[in-house]
Amino acid sequence: MSRIDAKFAALQAEGKKAFVAYVMAGDPDYAKGLEIVKGLPAAGVDIIELGMPFTDPMADGTTIQLAGQRALEAGQDLEKTLAYARELRKEDDTTPIVMMGYYNPIYSRGVDAFLDDAVAAGIDGLIVVDLPPEEDEELCIPAQAKGINFIRLATPTTDDKRLPKVLQNTSGFVYYVSVTGITGTAEAQTAEVAPEVARIKSQTDLPVIVGFGIKTPDAAEAIASIADGAVVGSAIVEKIGAGESTADVLAFVKSLADGAHRG
């Protein structure tokens, strides 16, 4: 059983939904970024999504783009992002870590080398937004062979014809993107999301987690109530970008986690 599977089983036993937090590795710099990541489990985060900074983040809105720029300017790279996982694993061997980003840095490192390094660092899952199911042989299949979950995005435009293809080699959980467009823009609407989550769940036994457009504890609670959990990224990254202290960022994260856990 993977850490992700174990986490969802434990949450289900407690009657709780999952809270997933996204942060950009290396934002605003290596040391503070690592301090925040290390504080996430105690703030109630069930799964950590670790953004891999990239020069051309086409699926991301301004908030995440700027976070990536700050991280790259501070010298963050794929090796240092893997180092975050290694550092967290020294004190936490249960919280799942999912790396999220684009294929180019992984391809540049070499898929086999990257996967070996990711396994050694304690990475549990990958979300690679620019690799469609048609490219599963590139990374998805090799990752799963190494025991790393490959998590797929489903969107409002993923129709019934496309959905089976999206679900085909997905593991860990399904990430439902609640709004059409880039990160950090429109707000998720529970009434619109609920039937989509139900549609996906009718096709898979995997947990369905909803992200994009969740910015407050109340929104996290509302979304978690109709899914298996909620993801918040841009709202957290905004606090980091505004220069808030680590303690204040983590207090905000805890409020979001408390909301999702009430869902």
Catalytic residues: 49, 60
Maximum CA pair distance of the chain? 46
Measured at the alpha carbon of residue 120, what is the angle toward residues 117 and 126, in degrees to the nearest 5?
65
In the sheet that 229-232 helps form, which strands lie side by side, from edge to edge?
149-150, 125-128, 97-101, 47-51, 18-24, 229-232, 208-211, 174-177, 152-154
Strands 18-24 and 229-232: parallel
Distances (CA, A) of 174 to 30, 43, 90, 127, 252: 30, 23, 28, 10, 25
> Cβ–Cβ contacts within 10 Å for residue 203, how many?
15
Length of the chain in residues, anyone? 263
Q: Is 27 in contact with 237 (CB distance < 8 Å)?
A: yes
